[in-house]
């Protein structure tokens, strides 16, 4: 999460104080990402150092940020914000996902019921989704920013549940067809690991 750019965005509306920035940041993210005021001041200091914001009027430029010091964006700051909004975050490299690893490994552990392992994770994830849904329900769509954040969490967790469903179906089919994970791995090794194309498009 980019606190830096979120602060630039809030300052693009006009000069603001650190405390005010913290409050607005939390309100704008449905209070799901709490931010302490120290973090705000450190970030403002760095933004000032990089020439992206400047202190307003009565305060000394370069001095310690504090409650009495307001900031505004510079031209470079506005340009940086415009640029950042349009650059997609890097999703091209698959993260090393713990859950994917657990399922891949469960397949290789003798005597392990993979469906049962998958179900333990599925239940946990659905319980987590129930909690998010309850938050959304209680708020009843009043806080749009909050609903956006909750939706994004729900879609993210949902995609993991769907992967578990697909993984279970794929493994069941493969096992029913006589697939043996240890033998299959040995065969792949002796044939030499296939080289796969590198992922990633130019952003």
Partner 1 sequence: MSVLELRSISKVYGRGAAEVQALRDVSLTVAAGEMVAVMGPSGSGKSSLLTIAGTLEEPTSGAVVVNGEDTLRMAGGAKSRIRRRAIGYVFQDFNLLPGLTAAENVSLPLELDGTSMRKAHLAALKALEELGLSDRARHFPDQMSGGERQRVAIARAVVGERSLLLADEPSGALDSANGESVMRLIHTYCKRGVAAVVVTHDAQLASWADRVVFLRDGRVVDQTAAPAGPETLLESSS
Per-residue H/E/C for the chain: CCHHHHHHHHHCCCCEEHHHHHHHHHHHCCCCCCCCHHHHHHHHHHHHHCCCEEECCCCCCCCCCCCCCEEEECHHHHHHHHHHHHCCCCCCCCCCCHHHHHHHHHHHCCCCCHHHHHHHHHHHHHHHHHHHHHHHHHHCCCCHHHHHHHHHHHHHHHHHHHHHHHHHHHHHHHHHCCCCHHHHHHHHHHCCCCCCCCCCCCC
Residue pointed to by tokens 């940020």: 65
CB nearer to partner 1: pick between 99 and 157: 157
To partner 1, the closest distance from the beta carbon of 8 in angstroms equals 23
To partner 1, the closest distance from the beta carbon of 115 in angstroms equals 7
Residue 165 touching partner 1 (CB under 8 A): yes
User: What character string, x for contact with partner 1 (CB under 8 A) and - otherwise, covers 99-128?
Assistant: ----------------x---x--xx-xxxx
Distance CA 118, CA 27 (A): 37
Q: What's the maximum distance between 2 C-alpha atoms anywhere in the chain?
A: 77
Residue 145 touching partner 1 (CB under 8 A): no
CB nearer to partner 1: pick between 64 and 127: 127
Residue 161 touching partner 1 (CB under 8 A): yes
Residue 75 touching partner 1 (CB under 8 A): no
CB nearer to partner 1: pick between 105 and 120: 120
Size of the site for partner 1 (CB under 8 A): 30
Distance CA 93, CA 200 (A): 7
Residue 31 touching partner 1 (CB under 8 A): yes
CB nearer to partner 1: pick between 85 and 126: 126
To partner 1, the closest distance from the beta carbon of 122 in angstroms equals 7
To partner 1, the closest distance from the beta carbon of 88 in angstroms equals 22
Residue 154 touching partner 1 (CB under 8 A): yes
Please report, as ranges, the residues that interact with partner 1 according to CB under 8 A.
31-34, 115, 119, 122-123, 125-135, 137-138, 154-155, 157-158, 161-162, 165, 168-169
């Amino acid at each position: 999460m980019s606190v830096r750019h979120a602060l630039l965005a809030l300052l693009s509306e006009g000069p603001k104080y650190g405390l005010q920035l913290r409050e607005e940041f939390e309100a704008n993210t449905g209070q799901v990402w709490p931010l302490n005021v120290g973090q705000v001041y450190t970030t403002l200091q760095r933004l000032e150092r990089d020439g992206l914001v400047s202190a307003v009027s009565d305060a000394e430029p370069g001095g310690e940020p504090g409650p009495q010091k307001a900031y505004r964006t510079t031209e470079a700051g506005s340009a940086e914000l415009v640029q950042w909004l349009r650059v997609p975050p890097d999703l091209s490299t698959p993260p090393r996902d713990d859950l994917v690893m657990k399922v891949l490994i469960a397949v290789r552990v003798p005597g392990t019921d993979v469906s049962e392992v998958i179900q333990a994770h599925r239940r946990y994830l659905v319980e987590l989704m129930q909690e998010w849904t309850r938050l959304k329900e209680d708020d009843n769509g009043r806080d749009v920013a909050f609903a956006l954040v909750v939706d994004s969490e729900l879609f993210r967790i949902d995609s993991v549940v769907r992967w578990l469903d697909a993984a279970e179906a794929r493994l069941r089919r493969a096992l029913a067809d006589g697939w043996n994970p240890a033998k299959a791995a040995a065969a792949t090794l002796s044939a030499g690991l296939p080289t796969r194309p590198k992922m990633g498009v130019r952003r």
